[in-house]
Amino acid sequence: MTIIAYDGKTLAADRMCMRGDTISTVTKLWFNGEHEAIAVSGNFAVGAQMRRWYEGSRDVAGPEWPTPNDKLEHTVMVVADELGARYYESGGPPEPIEVCEKFAAWGVGREAALGAMAMGADARRAVEIASEWVMGCGRGVDYVHVCIK
């Protein structure tokens, strides 16, 4: 499970990975260039394929967009940079959905993170708050400042 939060300047994600009743720590947020970051929520393997597609999408013979085995399994890839954030959802063609709100959140604990940001928390703190109150996210926070304004 994952919580991803974006506050217009920072993209943050927790580090918990769940396999059945066992949890571990993974990285779900990566740099892609100097001021661009990618985070994934949902099925980690599908998210990694989405990331590989995005990073190679500028190549003519780049990797193909993944096709999840289960249409009900929802995976999201969030891309944020100095111009804003957009996200892609699994299960269909790769179409970017622009984030038009001041802040946004995806995954388990998104409501807690949105509430925290509405009360003035930044994305990093919103992930920490969601991790404190919502089962299924936690084990630390990775964050990247994508807007240096």
Q: Is 68 exposed, middle or buried (0-12, 13-18, 19+ CB in 10 A)?
A: middle
29 vs 71, which has greater pLDDT? 29
pTM summary value? 0.92
Tokens of 92: 């269909």
> Does position 52 have pLDDT exceeding 80, yes or no?
yes
Structural domain that includes position 128: 3-145
Query: How many domains does the chain fold into?
Result: 1
pLDDT at 73 over 90: no
| Higher local confidence (pLDDT), 32 or 14 | 14
Alpha-carbon distance 106 to 99, whole Å? Answer: 11
CATH number of the domain encompassing residue 60:
3.60.20.10
pLDDT at position 147: 81
Residue 90 clears pLDDT 80, i.e. is over it: yes
pLDDT digits 0-9 by tens, 25-45: 999 999 988 889 999 999 888
Nearest alpha carbon to residue 17 among 104, 108, 105: 108
pLDDT reported for residue 86: 98
User: DSSP character for 136?
Assistant: T
In the structure, what pLDDT confidence band is assigned to residue 126 with cuts at 50, 70 and 90? very high
Q: What is the pLDDT of the chain when averaged over all its residues?
A: 91
Q: Residue 70: what pLDDT?
A: 59
Residue 70: burial class (beta carbons within 10 Å; 0-12, 13-18, 19+): exposed
